[in-house]
Amino acid sequence: MPDTASPAPNVHMRYDFAEAEPRWQRAWAERNCFRVADVPGDGRPKYYVLEMFPYPSGKIHMGHVRNYTLGDVLARYKRACGFSVLHPMGWDAFGLPAENAARERGIHPARWTYDNIAAMRAELRRMGLSLDWEREFATCDIAYYGQQQKLFLALLEAGLAYRKESFVNWDPVDGTVLANEQVIDGRGWRSGAPVEKRRLAQWFFRITEFAPELLAALDGLERWPERVRTMQAKWIGRSEGARLSFPLLTPADGIDGIEVYTTRPDTLFGMSFLALAPEHPLAAAVATRDPGAERFIAECRRLGTSEAAIEAAEKQGYDTGLSVAHPFLKDEKFPVWIANFVLTEYGTGAVFGCPAHDQRDLEFARKYGLPVRPVVLPPDESAADFSVGCTAWVGPGTMIHSDFLDGLDPESAKHRVVAELERIGAGRGEVNWRLRDWGVSRQRYWGCPIPVIHCATCGVVPVPERDLPVRLPEDVRFDRPGNPLADHPTWKHVRCPACGGAAERETDTLDTFVDSAWYFSRFCSPRAADPLDRSAVGHWMPVDQYIGGIEHAILHLLYARFFTRAMQRTGFIGVAEPFAGLFTQGMVTHESYRLADGRWLYPEEIERQVDGSVVERASGAPVIIGRIEAMSKSRRNTVDPGAIIARYGADTARWFILSDNPPERDMEWTEAGVAGAHRFLQRVQRLADSIAAAPTGANVPILFSRPAQALRHRTHQTILAVTAALEDFAFNSAVARLYELAGAIGDAEREEGEGLAVARREAIEILVRLAAPMVPHLAEELYARLHPGTTSLVAELPWPEADPALAASDSVTIAVQVGGKLRGTIVMPPDSPEPEVVAAAAAEPNVARLLAGRRVVRRIHVPNRIVNFVVAG
RNA sequence: GCGGGCGUGGCGGAAUUGGCAGACGCGCCGGACUCAAAAUCCGGUUCUGGCAACAGAGUGUCGGUUCGACCCCGACCGCCCGCACCA
């Protein structure tokens, strides 16, 4: 039997993370370390740190681990710095996968969702995140979506929500409508199915009303990545131009003119044709009596605009036979075409074609033999021989063949022609936006019911306050396609609140992006009887630091910005912008592995041979190492955080994920990296235990020996460096500084001198406390071992402060250059006078050798950094 | 096509923003301990020449500004991301 006697003080106690981590998690919970009030009265400055809340798929993935670790480091650090920190967690719980589970496995969406939440909550708790769990909610809680219905009605009343019939993006696989933002490369963002166009009555949020301020306010979001701001700006898409109308020479079908939007009114005299979108009302009217037009329009619809963008760069058109007059060229008439490249949603759904100065118009004109008339003469060209070949001229120049515009530059010509159009009443200057109103109707069960009632006599009637919330029925069937709410035998049949007659509930539910467009403000007062408590959101909002994936750069972040403004206008909140700071983390990647037959293997199914090759563990078959790419189930290059935490502990997972590289970049998850992180944490633990066991003597020594001083200097410099790194989100640099300090403590173990024991105890304690935001459990454990009997928790301690005297260096190393090349270094007291530094530099042996016999023409001295002798020749 | 970002050892990356390029980690090489291995500890590790001191080259390429450039300017090459018939 091994010796089982109690360990001697200098024998290292093993740190059992599996026992210790849950123990410290309980300790934090018992002391309510992370709880804050809705409206705190303690006068501490507030800091709201939020990570994008997860969809409850059932298991956390490494992306979650990275996201929540980053946020947790920040939350713990800010708390130590004296902030009162709001750090909540919840669940983005409505959505399609729950309905798919219901269809495929017969589980009720609610059951599936809440089971998943329970499983994921346990995994998140195991990570030791400093969350205020009392604020937790799921968006599928009636307490949440019921409040959301109140917000919807407020928006409806304010005219920010409305219903209209329109062409919508229809996802034939998911059987629902998608917002423009949810169509990616012509396909549904979830299903990947090609999107079709359908005409349906839908609910919309009037996000376009805020387009100017959503764009303008981007400039003020200084703590947002430039990338995200430019993406949003492009998405909102402001353009300046003119709207003008072209009268039809022979009014047809009750339409006597066509409105056109253009950003190039200066090229109006270069007009060659007018083109309508296939969905334009006049095109539809023509189609009723022209089978050719009807066929053409049907063909365009079949392809769909987005699909056509991919397939057919080819322009196609159909001549309606109609013509329009020109506002200035009175003797001329221009043909009206239907063209597949004209978008119905942008501008007026009709354009005038100026082939000489627009590439699309040029391609169209060449194909159908339409005239090409240049009106902008490029610099260095002569009007006599300038002609347009197969490339339109879109650059600067001088206006020609343009009557009263001749001689102007295009920019001045724009203003001039707009003024003229306004004078004769044919058009006006107009700003246009790419942003469309946000379609929020979804023909789905597992979402927030839209709280309105359709009455044959009264129209759309809001559900009265007393009848809220509109609760989802629980007894629904998923054995038929389509919306189970519409299919429900009784749920939708109600009395009209206005006239008392028979009426029907709206059966559409809200896009789940609505749920995530305001959850951050609900976290301020999650149990309030109203959607938001004014004083709570007044205290906590905006979110000081929001952290999440770049994939939400447009959709979620733009919707949240809009919805906050809408809530501001309807009086629920006092701020316009929800997120003062935004940090977008990189993805977690991993090598991928596949067998010769193409089958992908999970990392745990492979084995690395001594020669570096890889085989399948079960069969010994050779494995091809694939690309390092984002973890995905289809490539099986995922690593389960639960398994990592079980094997190495939460602290190791956190430490590795922080140490590998800067958090905004993609990181590669490697087995070697995790093992290395784990080794380091064990080393810190051994250091702490040996120091805890060593006597320090009764008193602090009066005199510290040279090595003791050096260690203290390093310790206090580390405080400064780690603090700066954390402020900068440079967690990998913070980690590097802590490695250095651990190395210095280890080195000091081999030294001797007065005060070393005290210096080492100070160093390890500082190390533990600086590492605490990153590895909170180990920090608590080691702090407790260093202070037997303490009742303090590191989670409650203030952030260490550097002693300026100790942090200051008593010497600096100055580089010495000769002719700009490094030739040696000298060590001097800081801020030494220039003559002394230069003299010492010149005396440095190698420098002196190289200066011998050469004329120094100039001496550059940068204090504490460099001396450069510029020599002649 | 338009917009944004990025190019530094075998790898991830650092460099106080114009002042010692390669911190720190991974990997690799060598050593100590061990019967041996693991673990741990110590040392080395940009390239070339040299026992060394040291010298030369070096931050995608070419050029420029500067006493001095990974950093600033110009041109180009490559990679990543976003948008894309937006009139």
Q: A149 Cβ partners below 8 Å, 6+ apart?
A: A448, A449, A450, A451, A463, A468, A469, A470
Quote the CA–CA distance of A553 and A548 in Å, as a whole number. 9
Identify the DSSP state of A403.
G
Which tens digits make up the pLDDT trace of A638-668? 889 999 999 999 999 999 999 988 998 888 8
Distance A736 CA to B48 C1' (A): 31
Quote the CA–CA distance of A20 and A736 in Å, as a whole number. 25
Residue A9, pLDDT > 60, answer: no
Distance A671 CA to B11 C1' (A): 14
Which tens digits make up the pLDDT trace of A440-452? 988 889 999 999 9
Closest residue by Cα to the C1' atom of nucleotide B41?
Answer: A746
Which tens digits make up the pLDDT trace of A166-178? 777 787 877 777 7
Closest residue by Cα to the C1' atom of nucleotide B26?
Answer: A673
Cβ(A139)–Cβ(A92) below 8 Å? yes
Q: What is the pLDDT of residue A114?
A: 97
Cβ(A244)–Cβ(A259) below 8 Å? yes
Using the CA of A629, which nucleotide's C1' is the nearest one?
Answer: B80
Quote the CA–CA distance of A863 and A829 in Å, as a whole number. 11
Q: Which of A25-34, A375-384, A703-712 has the lowest mean pLDDT?
A: A375-384
Q: Which residues pair with A165 in a beta bridge?
A: A201
Distance A683 CA to B40 C1' (A): 9
Calculate mean pLDDT across residues A595-610. Answer: 80
Return the structure tokens found at A23: 């123990």
ipTM for the predicted complex: 0.93
Residue A718, pLDDT > 60, answer: yes
Residue A7, pLDDT > 50, answer: no
Total residue count of chain A as it appears in this document:
873
Q: What is the pLDDT of residue A601?
A: 84
pLDDT grade for A13, boundaries at 50, 70 and 90: low
Residue A307, pLDDT > 50, answer: no
Q: How far lies A57's CA from each of A96, A129, A141, A507, A863, in Å?
A: 11, 19, 16, 25, 58
Closest residue by Cα to the C1' atom of nucleotide B23?
Answer: A736
Distance A344 CA to B76 C1' (A): 41
Q: Name which of A634, A635, A641 is nearest A656 in CA terms.
A: A641
Q: What is the pLDDT of residue A160?
A: 96
Q: What is the pLDDT of residue A444?
A: 87
Q: Which of A8-12, A535-539, A844-848 has the lowest mean pLDDT?
A: A8-12
Half-sphere exposure of A493 (CA within 13 A, CB side): 5
Residue A591, pLDDT > 90, answer: no
Distance A809 CA to B50 C1' (A): 36
Using the CA of A867, which nucleotide's C1' is the nearest one?
Answer: B19
Q: What are phi and psi of A139, to 5 degrees?
A: -70, -15
Distance A814 CA to B22 C1' (A): 19
pLDDT grade for A225, boundaries at 50, 70 and 90: confident
Using the CA of A349, which nucleotide's C1' is the nearest one?
Answer: B87
Residue A330, pLDDT > 80, answer: yes
Calculate mean pLDDT across residues A468-489. Answer: 88
Closest residue by Cα to the C1' atom of nucleotide B27?
Answer: A672
Q: What is the pLDDT of residue A94?
A: 95
Cβ(A151)–Cβ(A572) below 8 Å? yes
Distance A801 CA to B41 C1' (A): 32
pLDDT grade for A186, boundaries at 50, 70 and 90: low
Which tens digits make up the pLDDT trace of A759-796? 999 999 999 999 999 999 999 999 999 999 999 999 99
Calculate mean pLDDT across residues A225-247. Answer: 89
Which tens digits make up the pLDDT trace of A506-554? 999 999 999 999 999 999 999 999 999 999 999 999 999 999 988 888 8
Q: What is the pLDDT of residue A396?
A: 82
pLDDT grade for A590, boundaries at 50, 70 and 90: confident
Distance A278 CA to B14 C1' (A): 57
Q: What is the pLDDT of residue A309?
A: 45
Closest residue by Cα to the C1' atom of nucleotide B6?
Answer: A665
Cβ(A871)–Cβ(A851) below 8 Å? yes
Using the CA of A352, which nucleotide's C1' is the nearest one?
Answer: B87
The rounded mean pLDDT for chain A is 88
Closest residue by Cα to the C1' atom of nucleotide B14?
Answer: A733
Q: What is the pLDDT of residue A188?
A: 73
Which tens digits make up the pLDDT trace of A87-113? 999 999 999 889 888 888 889 999 999
Using the CA of A233, which nucleotide's C1' is the nearest one?
Answer: B3
Return the structure tokens found at A54: 């997860």
Calculate mean pLDDT across residues A550-565. Answer: 90
Residue A613, pLDDT > 80, answer: no
Distance A311 CA to B85 C1' (A): 12
Using the CA of A849, which nucleotide's C1' is the nearest one?
Answer: B54
Paired sense of beta strands A333-339 and A317-325, if any: antiparallel
Q: What is the pLDDT of residue A180?
A: 65
Quote the CA–CA distance of A165 and A186 in Å, as a whole number. 21
Quote the CA–CA distance of A532 and A622 in Å, as a whole number. 59
Closest residue by Cα to the C1' atom of nucleotide B3?
Answer: A230
Q: What is the pLDDT of residue A353?
A: 93
In chain B, which nucleotides are within 7 Å of a protein Cβ? 3-5, 12-16, 19-21, 23-27, 39-42, 53-56, 67-69, 81-87
Distance A305 CA to B1 C1' (A): 19
Distance A835 CA to B15 C1' (A): 28
Distance A236 CA to B21 C1' (A): 43
Q: What is the pLDDT of residue A33?
A: 96
Using the CA of A870, which nucleotide's C1' is the nearest one?
Answer: B67
Q: A362 Cβ partners below 8 Å, 6+ apart?
A: A355, A356, A372, A388, A390, A391, A392
Q: What is the pLDDT of residue A543?
A: 96
Distance A785 CA to B34 C1' (A): 31
Q: What is the pLDDT of residue A308?
A: 41
Calculate mean pLDDT across residues A392-418. Answer: 89
Distance A866 CA to B50 C1' (A): 29
Distance A856 CA to B67 C1' (A): 11
Specify the 3-state DSSP secondary structure of A47.
Answer: strand
Query: What pTM did the predictor assign?
Result: 0.90
Residue A480, pLDDT > 90, answer: no
Using the CA of A364, which nucleotide's C1' is the nearest one?
Answer: B85
Closest residue by Cα to the C1' atom of nucleotide B42?
Answer: A747
Closest residue by Cα to the C1' atom of nucleotide B40?
Answer: A683
Calculate mean pLDDT across residues A581-597. Answer: 86
Using the CA of A735, which nucleotide's C1' is the nearest one?
Answer: B24
Distance A2 CA to B35 C1' (A): 21
Calculate mean pLDDT across residues A249-259. Answer: 85
Using the CA of A865, which nucleotide's C1' is the nearest one?
Answer: B19
Q: What is the pLDDT of residue A311?
A: 47
Using the CA of A348, which nucleotide's C1' is the nearest one?
Answer: B87
Cβ(A512)–Cβ(A138) below 8 Å? no
pLDDT grade for A304, boundaries at 50, 70 and 90: low
Specify the 3-state DSSP secondary structure of A671.
Answer: helix
Q: What is the pLDDT of residue A604?
A: 81
Using the CA of A314, which nucleotide's C1' is the nearest one?
Answer: B85
